[in-house]
Amino acid sequence: MSALLSLSGLNRRFGGLAAVSDFSLALESGIVTALVGPNGAGKTTIFNLVTGNLRADSGQILLHDKPIIGLSPHRIARLGIARSFQDLRLFGHMSVLDNVRAATEPTSWFWQAGGAAARQQRRERVETALERTGLSGLTQARAIDLAYAERKFLSMARIIATGARIWLLDEPASGLDPRSRAQFVDLLRSATAEGVTVCLIEHNLDIVTEVADRIAFLDQGRKLAEGEPADIMQDKALAAIYFGDRT
Amino acid sequence: MIAYLVNLATLTTIFAVLATSLNILIGYGGIFSIAQAVFFGVGAYAAAQVALHVTPDLLVASAAGAGAAALLSICLALPALRVRDEYFVIASLGLQMLAVTVFTEATPITGGFGGLVGIPPASLLGLPLTDPNAMLAACLGFLVLVLVLTRVLMRGSFGRSLMAIRDNDTAAEALGKNVMVLKTLAVMLGCAYAGIGGALYSAQMQFINVESFTLDQSVLIMAMVIIGGTGTLIGPLVGTVLILLLPAALSFIPGIPPTEIGVVQQMIYGLVMTLLMIFRPGGLVTLRTRRQ
Ligand SMILES: Nc1ncnc2c1ncn2[C@@H]1O[C@H](COP(=O)(O)OP(=O)(O)OP(=O)(O)O)[C@@H](O)[C@H]1O
Ligand SMILES: [Mg+2]
């Protein structure tokens, strides 16, 4: 079976810094893959390469076996790849409801295509997204007025509402309290149960062990290891790199 | 006195259309342009030419003004929106300066520095608008149309997309929004409104020249939007009324010599803008923060 999204031999330099070097990864349908590695390892850069926010110096990215390198970010998004941002990037002055509704309206015209049936479908997606993220009671609040955890869930609600089948999540659970974290894990589980493919950047190894089916370990732009969580977690050399510059 | 007030009301209505037009760019699109008077001017000249040579009908003249302004705005939007936001401001300033020269030199179309005179009184669907009250009513009608259209569009997906881009363009792109196309549409819509404002202005004044379409005018329109409040329907209207009525109100205050009114006015605008930016950056009228 070929991968849903496959990255192969990706390179990206910033001046003299090799942010991503010869990186390859295959995302399989319905599987949660975690990108783990110390700060500056190149994790976010990989997301930016996939979503078209940055262009790879070399390498190939295939979605359903078709190359997507060179497409603009909005085109890649419309192909069904949704992402979250490390710094969330909510629409601060818009209401929670409008943040989520905006995620269901990609048509660049004065109105959306599809008429009443499509409108009904969008409304249902918005409702589902709000329910699953527990934001149904806050629809009229402005995004900038939300509490930290609520903001994180709003960023997830936007992704759910897009209807995308591939999610790239950049530290979605960082800083969450235990209860919200459990809620987040549930959210992820129900999405993958429906066949959503997830690539997750996460520093908290507890969450990684809890939700990830596979782990790719990165350091200085290179993939050092990839495999089942149990195997990666037991690797002492990786642990030394991961915790080395912190403790 | 009544004639004076009706004229003031008509001009206020026309400037309310202009402030609404710039609000589409600044308030909803986050696109800072200081060239709104250019599109006001292009609309006015186009409408005046139509009135002089084709028909005095205000609908036709407005359509011509809106069309001409929207068309020209593409020339600003396409190159300028590709670059970063700061450059758009510079590009629009450049266009403003260029346009004043063109307005002054393109004598066959604009009448040069002397302007276009003898623009015939407008009519609307065959009804003459020679009566100042009728003209005021017509302008109010256009303002209401513009406001209704703005409300419908800004409450809909187009407005949401624009505001999303304003708040964070990278995130908007990641949700599939074509930022270039949406911003260009916003610029075209806003400039079309300005063109309508120009058409109404030329019909009201029956004389136009370049002095109404200078950088000063662009700054004045911007002040209306920023003082009144960006991104709301009402804000720019409040700003327009305040700014246009201020000089009139000042002239009633004893002790200010008429020759000094301009200076006092400038000081008040400047002070108000500065204070607003410090204490109420969203303008006088801001959205209520609702939290259930
Ligand atoms: N646009 C850019 N221009 C220059 N350097 C960049 C840019 N983006 C990232 N970098 C650099 O590339 C390296 C990898 O950054 P990246 O953000 O991908 O790391 P990360 O693994 O996401 O780290 P973190 O865990 O801190 O988020 C870093 O050294 C960073 O400074
Ligand atoms: Mg990162």
Q: What is the pTM of this model?
A: 0.93
Q: Which residue from A20, A25, A35, A44 has its CB within 8 A of the most atoms of ligand 1, so it is best to mutate?
A: A44
| pLDDT at position A241 | 83
User: pLDDT of B160-169, one tens digit each?
Assistant: 999 999 999 9
Q: In what order do the strands lie in the sheet containing A58-63?
A: A17-27, A5-14, A58-63, A66-67
Per the structure, how many domains does chain A have? Answer: 2
- CB-based contacts of A91: which residues, under 8 Å, 6+ apart? A98, A99, A102, A143, B163, B164, B167, B168, B171, B172
CB of A142 within 8 Å of a chain B CB? The answer is yes
For helices B58-80 and B85-105, the axis angle rounded to 10 degrees is 130
Whether A76 and A171 map to the same domain: the answer is yes
Whether A157 and A172 map to the same domain: the answer is no
What backbone phi and psi angles, to 5 degrees, belong to B226?
-75, -40
Using the beta-carbon criterion (under 8 Å), do A74 and B173 form an inter-chain contact? yes
Whether A68 and A181 map to the same domain: the answer is yes
Whether A28 and A71 map to the same domain: the answer is yes
Token pair recorded at residue A174: 């960082």
| pLDDT at position B253 | 79
Token pair recorded at residue A246: 């912190």
Per CB-CB distance under 8 Å, the chain B contacts of A145 are: 289, 291
Whether A124 and A224 map to the same domain: the answer is no
Q: Which residues are registered as beta bridge partners of A6?
A: A26, A62
Token pair recorded at residue B143: 């303002």
A232 to chain B, minimum CA–CA distance in Å?
Answer: 31
| pLDDT at position B290 | 42
- Find tokens 């992704």 and name the residue: A159
Overall residue count recorded for chain B in this entry: 292
Q: Calculate how far, in angstroms, residue A55's C-alpha sits from the geometric centre of ligand 1.
A: 14
| pLDDT at position A246 | 47
User: pLDDT of A41-98, one tens digit each?
Assistant: 999 999 999 999 999 999 999 999 999 999 999 999 999 999 999 999 999 999 999 9
**In a domain? residue B232:** no
Q: How far is CA B154 from CA A31, B147, B148, in A?
A: 39, 10, 10
Whether A172 and A100 map to the same domain: the answer is no
Q: Calculate how far, in angstroms, residue A41's C-alpha sits from the geometric centre of ligand 1.
A: 7
Enclosing domain of residue B80 = 2-214
**In a domain? residue B234:** no
Using the beta-carbon criterion (under 8 Å), do A82 and B170 form an inter-chain contact? no
Q: How far is CA A20 from CA A5, A47, A57, in A?
A: 18, 11, 10
Question: Collapsing DSSP states into helix, strand and coil, what is residue A213?
Answer: coil
Per CB-CB distance under 8 Å, the chain B contacts of A102 are: 157, 160-161, 163-164, 172, 175, 177
- State which ligand 1 atom lies nearest to the alpha carbon of A35: 21
Per the structure, how many domains does chain B have? Answer: 1
What single letter denotes the amino acid at residue A81?
I
The angle at the Cα of A80, spanning A77 to A86, to the nearest 5 degrees, equals 55
CB of A72 within 8 Å of a chain B CB? The answer is yes
Whether A154 and A185 map to the same domain: the answer is no
CB of A38 shorter than 6 A to ligand 1: no
The last residue of one of the domains, among A118, A146, A163, is A163
Token pair recorded at residue B93: 């300033």
Q: Does A195 score more than 60 pLDDT?
A: yes
| Ligand nearest, relative to CA of residue A246 | 1
Residue B54 carries which DSSP code? T
Using the beta-carbon criterion (under 8 Å), do B182 and A108 form an inter-chain contact? yes
Ranges of chain B with pLDDT below 70: 287-292
CA distance A111 to B259: 51
Token pair recorded at residue A226: 């990839």
Q: Which residues are registered as beta bridge partners of A96?
A: none
B282: exposed, middle or buried (C-beta count within 10 Å: 0-12, 13-18, 19+)? middle
CA distance A51 to A73: 5
Indicate the pairing of strand A32-36 with strand A214-219: parallel
Whether A75 and A171 map to the same domain: the answer is yes
Average per-residue pLDDT in chain A?
Answer: 94
The last residue of one of the domains, among A145, A163, A181, is A163
Residue A16: CB atoms within 10 A of its CB come to 5
Indicate the pairing of strand A66-67 with strand A58-63: antiparallel
Using the beta-carbon criterion (under 8 Å), do A53 and B170 form an inter-chain contact? yes
A55-60 long-range contacts, CB within 8 A, separation 24+ = A55/A12, A56/A10, A56/A11, A56/A12, A56/A20, A57/A11, A57/A12, A57/A13, A58/A9, A58/A10, A58/A11, A59/A7, A59/A8, A59/A9, A59/A10, A59/A11, A59/A22, A59/A23, A60/A6, A60/A7, A60/A8, A60/A9, A60/A10
Element (H, E) at B203: helix B179-205
Residue B62: CB atoms within 10 A of its CB come to 28
Whether A178 and A240 map to the same domain: the answer is yes
The last residue of one of the domains, among A133, A163, A193, is A163
Q: Which residue from A10, A11, A14 has its CB within 8 A of the most atoms of ligand 1, so it is best to mutate?
A: A14
Mean pLDDT along residues A149-163: 98
Whether A131 and A182 map to the same domain: the answer is no
Q: Which of A94, A103, A142 is nearest residue B175 as measured by Cβ atoms?
A: A103
Where does the pLDDT of residue A3 fall: very low under 50, low under 70, confident under 90, or very high at 90 and above?
Answer: confident
CB of A45 shorter than 6 A to ligand 1: yes
| Residue among B160, B163, B286 with most chain A CBs within 10 A, to mutate | B160
Using the beta-carbon criterion (under 8 Å), do B175 and A106 form an inter-chain contact? yes
| pLDDT at position B287 | 60
**CATH number of the domain where residue A245 is located:** 3.40.50.300
Output b/e per residue, A43-56; b: 16+ Cβ within 10 A.
Answer: bbbbbbbbbbbbeb
Question: By alpha-carbon position, which residue is closest to atom 16 of ligand 1?
Answer: A42
What backbone phi and psi angles, to 5 degrees, belong to A20?
-135, 125
Whether A157 and A50 map to the same domain: the answer is no
Q: Is B37 within 8 Å of B218 (Cβ atoms)? A: yes
ipTM of the complex: 0.94
Enclosing domain of residue A151 = 89-163
Interface A-B: count of C-beta contacts within 8 A = 108
Q: Which residues are registered as beta bridge partners of A5?
A: A27, A63
Per CB-CB distance under 8 Å, the chain B contacts of A142 are: 287, 289-291
CB of A86 shorter than 6 A to ligand 1: yes
User: pLDDT of B72-116, one tens digit each?
Assistant: 999 888 877 777 777 888 999 999 999 999 999 999 999 999 999
Q: Is A7 within 8 Å of A23 (Cβ atoms)? A: yes
Question: By alpha-carbon position, which residue is closest to atom 17 of ligand 1?
Answer: A44
Per CB-CB distance under 8 Å, the chain A contacts of B156 are: 110-111
Pick the residue from chain A with its C-alpha nearest to B189.
Answer: A110
Whether A97 and A209 map to the same domain: the answer is no
Q: How far is CA A57 from CA A49, A54, A111, B42, in A?
A: 10, 9, 38, 46
Q: Does A1 score more than 80 pLDDT?
A: no
CA distance B96 to B214: 7
**In a domain? residue B241:** no
